[in-house]
Amino acid sequence: MGDEQRVSYDELLEQSRAAFEEVPDFTVAVEEEFALLDPSTLGLVNRFEEVQAAAAGTELEPHLVGELIASEVEVRTGRCETFADAAARLEERRAQLRALADGLGIGLSAVGTHPWSPWQEQRIIDTPHYRRNDEILRYVVWRNNTFGLHVHVGVNGPDRAVRVCSALRAFLPELLALSASSPFVEGVFTHLHSSRTQVFTRMFPRCGIPDAFASWREWEGYVRFLYETGSVTEHTQIWWSVRPHLVFPTVEIRICDAQPDLGEARSLAALCYALTARVARALDEGEPLVDQPHRLLEENLWRAIRHGLSGELIDLERGEVVPARARLEQLVEWVLPVAEELGAASWLAVPERNAAERQIARHREGATMEQIFAEQVRWGERVTG
């Protein structure tokens, strides 16, 4: 390994640790990934560069980025001091993106996968970052035509942030079950509630539920190992479903499918936010949080992928199976006091049906995949919620 690369990741780790020392608790930012569509056929279209060019000089420009393929765009709220600010920004960013896309004759959708557009027809955008990932991953990255929602929460203290990440591992299946929105992919009704998770999390290296780390030193040692062995060339190649972000001093939750409905996107982001804060408070106060074995968390993750909010999850402390919806209601109740303190409680809700359940119900009624997807696109056109 060259001295230049070693200096680069040494500086990254040093700067990241220092940033976690300074960041105030419980700032929040949300990222949403959208598919770019032909409005007449609703198939994916490779037009990201046009969207990016149209955003130049607008308020949206600094908050709009590419995300792997040219038929996808990501918009970001930016760092917000309160969840109320983030909720307002989510609506604002969607409206800004919608206006931009309408002006270009481009449709938008926000479900975890596109139901039928072939991955072979999607072009990877031409940036150094994505060229490197293409060279490293090949087929794995080609197949990843998926769309998610990520939540960043500021957690003060490097050791504390790592411990919060480790504790959040246990709740990732619940968050996935709530967010599931992708029963269709590659022209197939998969019978999964989140085919996005199966395509992305099960194929990418260093993805899904991570190991638990007890301290920043332990986490840093792992990152150094990856760089020194040539396993990664960039910190973003750690694709775990929850991670301490090494550039933004945040805990980032990455497990969730994209949400067609603005109201449900806000509610999901509010739960991710409040849960992170609740876990941090539990650790601060010595409240016991059981560190479950990876193999048991994986059992619940599979249940969330397969059956989503309609299925059952395992209460790992009792060894009992409970309805996923009841488990989510318990989780909301657990985080509610902190959510009320932080002004996020009014957005917390478990829907009667989430996006995957709505789509599967329509499939059982005999609606075509095209009809079902068109309905999800129309959900997304309601930019208030």
Tokens of 132: 């490197």
Contact 338, 277 (CB under 8 A): yes
| 172 neighbors 255 (Cβ within 8 angstroms) | yes
**β-sheet bridge partners, residue 149:** 32, 256
**Tens digit of pLDDT for each residue in 216-231?**
999 999 999 999 999 9
Q: For residue 155, how many C-alpha atoms fall within 13 Å in the half-sphere facing its CB?
A: 32
CA atoms of 378 and 108, how far apart (whole Å): 9
pLDDT tens digit string along 112-141? 999 999 999 999 999 888 889 899 999 999
Q: How far apart are the first and last CA of the chain?
A: 51
Structure tokens at 131: 């060229």
The Cα 288–Cα 316 span in angstroms is 14
Q: What is the pLDDT of residues 55-87, one digit of tens each?
A: 999 999 999 999 999 999 999 999 999 999 999
312 phi and psi, to 5 degrees? -130, 150
3-state SS class at 383: coil
> Tell me: the pLDDT tens digits for 354-364?
999 999 999 99
The percent of the chain in helix, strand and coil, each rounded to the nearest 5, is: 50, 15, 30
pLDDT digits (tens, 9 = 90+) for 218-266: 999 999 999 999 999 999 999 999 999 999 999 999 999 999 999 999 9
* CA–CA gap between residue 72 and residue 148 (Å, rounded): 11
DSSP assignment letter at 170: G
Q: What percentage of the chain exceeds 70 in pLDDT?
A: 97
Q: Which helix (H) or strand (E) holds 65?
A: strand 64-67
* List of domains in the chain: 3-381 (3.30.590.20)
Average pLDDT for residues 298-321, to the nearest whole number? Answer: 97
The pLDDT score that the predictor gives to residue 5 is 53
The mean pLDDT value of the chain amounts to: 95
Q: Report the distance separating Cα 244 and Cα 60, nearest Å.
A: 26
178, 307 contact by CB (below 8 A)? no
pLDDT of residue 383: 55
What CA–CA distance (Å, rounded) separates 106 from 38?
6
Placement of tokens 């208030």 in the chain: 384
pLDDT band at 384 (very low <50, low <70, confident <90, very high): low
